[in-house]
Structures are given as C-alpha cells and as structure tokens.
Amino acid sequence: MNCPYCGSQESRVIDSRSLDEGVRRRRKCLACNARFTTYERIQPHAIFVIKKDGRREEFSRDKLFTGIRKACEKRPLPTGAIDKFVDTIEAELYRVGKSEVPSSYIGDLVMAGLKKLDHIAYIRFASVYREFADIGALKQEVDSLAVRRELPSANQLPLPSSEAANSLVGRKRR
Ligand SMILES: [Zn+2]
C-alpha cells in the first residue's frame, strides 16, 4: 500500500475498525508521517440464480433493480429508497452464502420487502411474480394486506377501504 503523499510503501496501522462489509484501517506513513485510510472489503463470490425452468443465470443487481423500479414506478418513495432496498436484498443473498439460489427465493425477499415499503408496488410486483390466476386471487392478496395492517412507511398511502376495493374488482365477481 503506497502512501498517497510520498509513495513510500512503509506504513503502520494506527487504528483498525471492523465494519459490516469489511475493515477500515487508519495508517501512518513511516517516511513522511502522513495519515491515510484504507478499506479492506470482502469480494463476494458469484451467485447463480436457478430459474423456474431450471436454467442458471448469474445474479444481476441491475436486473433486480430494473424489476423493482418498474414495480415502484411513480410511487412516492424517497430518493434512493429503491437503491437501498436492492442493497439489502443483495446483502442478504451474500450473507446466506450459497453459490446458487432459486429465483423464487429472491422473489420472496422482494415481496417481503415491498410489502413494508409500498403496498401498490407490492401488488404490482406480486401480480407479475405470482401470476395471479384471476382477479379473485389478486383481491385476496389485497384483502390480506388490509387485514394484516403492516406498518406503513412514512410515505405510504393508506390502503383503500374494503368497500372501495370491492367496487374496483367486484364487477368481475360472480
Ligand atoms: Zn508518505
């Protein structure tokens, strides 16, 4: 590790702190006495996602981000909320430490997270991911959200009343 000021390779660690994602070290150059900080990070191994049809595909943060962003489109989420959300899912995947995970595992993580983040985004994602067979199955999911009364985030709009939900989907019911 070369000193950024004089280029000397000799430095001494004067402080070391463990972080969740690595180690932060404060160093002192033995040649010029300058102090600088280095970070040691874990290089995550590749994770492969096993799709429903059995195909394997390398886990892609971008792909996950795109899917979640689509579900959250035009939702009143704070700046960076989606990024942070994707970070937590990615971190969870690396924490589990498997080199292969079924796509359903990631899907379930996203569902659980979106449920806390934004109900509309959750329903949008669920309708693609769970492939609701009909409007009845969708309504059941919406109703279960209303019953469970998950703690809404600060920016979350309240769920429509069940009367309103009924009038939205009721027309197709027998
Ligand atoms: Zn130096």
What are the beta bridge partners of residue 29?
A: 11
pTM: 0.57
Which range marks the domain in which residue 73 is found? 48-172
Q: Is the pLDDT of residue 62 over 80?
A: yes
Lowest average pLDDT, out of 17-26, 41-50, 118-127, goes to: 41-50
Mean predicted lDDT score pLDDT of the chain:
82
Distance 36 CA to ligand 1 centre (A): 9
Is 135 domain-assigned?
Answer: yes
Cα of 21 vs centre of ligand 1, distance in Å, is 27
> Does residue 99 belong to any structural domain of this protein?
yes
The H-or-E segment that residue 6 falls in is none
For the chain, what percentages of helix, strand and coil (3-state, to nearest 5) are there?
45, 20, 35
Q: How many domains does the chain have?
A: 2
Find the angle CA(141)-CA(52)-CA(59) to the nearest 5 degrees.
Answer: 100
Residues measured by CB to lie within 5 Å of ligand 1, the ion: 3, 5-6, 8, 29, 31-32, 34
**What does the pLDDT look like over 138-174, one tens digit per residue?**
777 788 777 655 555 555 555 555 555 555 554 444 4
| SS3 track for 87-111 | HHHHHHHHHHCCCEEEHHHHHHHHH
Sign of the Cα torsion 21, 23, 26, 27 reads negative
52 and 35 inside one domain: no
Q: Are residues 35 and 67 in the same domain?
A: no
Based on the domain organization, do 33 and 53 belong to the same domain?
no
70 and 133 in a single domain? The answer is yes
- How remote is the CA of residue 19 from the centroid of ligand 1, in Å? 26
Residues 26 and 65 in one domain: no
